[in-house]
Structure 1
């Protein structure tokens, strides 16, 4: 007589990468659900970029010159790449404030006590912020079309190039959320994280080619603006959108803005993710 023994297969433990991905997605889902329950977070995040589009388009548009032209429609098409880039980078403040709030409430300590990947809490949070940023950019693009922005206004483009431009914008926004994560872990209150996340963004976004042609700046300021990572992404978007604003600068980021944008964003992610995860491991509420 033979006996048959039923054995339940034992699942092999997943590797560290797959566990990190799973944990990150769980945290991202938690943050997205939280955002959906607080719709004013999304609404207020949409109001500011819409105000910038309207104000710069109609208040300053008639007095700005782009490529020797004072036509407001030319400036409007020049402007939108800068507004898009500014919008995705301003997500830094909300990311930092959200992490600082979780720290203040002790939620981060509870996460750290769970058997989960060390970087998953921060990665999940930045993924959720990326989804919110993508929604903001989508709404902003619709508003831009309503006020007269058009792709291909200064040459030929196609759908793939337009999608690539938006991809660069989201990559820059994702990179900057890691800066926000580090700020949120380094301060004691959400209010301090909001202030710390915004105060340095204004010089970064305004000392750039986002709103004006850098050729009109003083030489030392122009060099800073041309090597600004923010300027590289704004210029790359103008190239891919085929909008006015071709650069005459010999600076490498302005001659190769797409590659410069990719390189800058990748470096920011590597550097600030490493610093943020290290800070997370040693942070206390």
Structure 2
């Protein structure tokens, strides 16, 4: 899900991840060149309770969002992401906060805004939606309702596991926010249903520091890498991995794929003549110019 969507759905659920990789394989990508990615962050989106049935059916076509970007495509502050790191938790407010004299505010500045003003995530006092909305720093000025960080704590406490599609979600009716993210249980299942089932030998995550609160997502990936024989790290079972079989790799493009609009040609960049050679070239580690 991204801010171009207008109904709620998962961000990186198991079903969606598998379908995405399968599409590339159908187009002829060798499984050995595919990589399954994991997100060390959650995404949130503002929903429109007046125009949908989010309270009863928070996931899917019955729960509609508000417009999540401005007419020119720029961010309107009604969606975003939070990570699994200490900065995504409500901090302890200092007891000696003083009023800001230069417009700066927040934990870094150690000051709060004057009466009627809000402290933005960037540490500036003001009264716009960017200052007072979801990214407002609670306690360092006023905020218009729950902040994203406050709502995120509700999501972590009350999140729902979607066992059908493989992902976590939560609808915070007090903040009108829909949250979507992965927990370790979904990561483990992806190793079975994507890595093993499709023969994909590569995994990655974005990004390491974003899981620094308790490293639970990283540990789940480490366990998957060991259990599913992707790397000889501590705990690797050589005997079990020697006997392991993987799906046969197929490199041909399926004929049915070529009858749809999304053929390889639609993914390729247009071929344009190269310009005159530059006076120098950047060379990578293998001695090739790039």
| TM-score bracket for the superposition, by shorter chain length | under 0.3
Where is the helix percentage greater, Structure 1 or Structure 2? 1
TM-score, with length taken from structure 2: 0.24
Where is the strand percentage greater, Structure 1 or Structure 2? 2
Structure having the higher Rg: 2
Higher relative contact order (CA 8 A, sep 6+): 1
